[in-house]
Amino acid sequence: MKKILLIIMLAVQVTLAQERGNILIKNATVLTITKGTLQNTDVLVKDGKISQLGNNIAAPAGYKVIDATGLFVMPGIIDAHSHQGIDDINEATNPVTAEVFVGDVINPSEISLYRALAGGVTTIHAMHGSANAIGGQCETIKLRYGVKDPEGLRMEGAPRTIKFALGENPTRVHGGGNNIVPRTRMGVEFVMREAFSKAKEYTAAWDSYTKSKSQKGFRGAPPAYNYRLETLGEILKGNIIIHCHSYRADEIYMMLKVCKDFGINKIVFQHVNEGFKVAPELAAQGAMASVFSDWWSYKFEVYYSTAYNAAILTKNGVTTSINSDDGELMRHLYHEAAKTQKYGALTDDEALALITINPAKQLGIESRVGSIEVGKDADIAIFKSHPLSSYTIPMVSIVDGIVRFDREKDQDDMRLYVDPKQEIEIATFEDRDHEHESCMEGTFSEFETIFNVN
Which CATH number describes the domain made up of 1-75+370-408? 2.30.40.10
CA distances from 407 to 50, 64, 117, 247, 391 (A): 22, 16, 10, 37, 16
In the chain, domain spans: 1-75+370-408, 77-213+222-367, 423-454
Closest listed residue to residue 288, CA positions, set 354, 337, 346, 228: 354
Q: pLDDT per residue over 165-211, tens digit each?
A: 999 999 999 999 999 999 999 999 999 999 999 999 999 999 999 99
User: HSE on the CB side for 434, CA within 13 Å?
Assistant: 11
Classified by CATH at the fold level, domain 77-213+222-367 comes out as TIM Barrel (3.20.20)
Percent of the chain with pLDDT over 70: 87
> Is the pLDDT assigned to residue 155 strictly greater than 50?
yes
| Model confidence pLDDT, tens digit, residues 30-62 | 999 999 999 999 999 999 999 999 999 999 999
Do 1-75+370-408 and 77-213+222-367 have matching folds? Answer: no
Contact 89, 128 (CB under 8 A): yes
Residue from 372, 369, 374 nearest 359 by CA:
369
* pTM metric for this prediction: 0.87
pLDDT class of 274 with cuts at 50, 70, 90: very high
Please state, as a whole number, how many other Cβ atoms lie within 10 Å of the Cβ of residue 209: 14
The answer, yes or no, to whether residue 2 has pLDDT greater than 80, is no
Q: How confident is the model at residue 446 (pLDDT cuts 50, 70, 90)?
A: very low
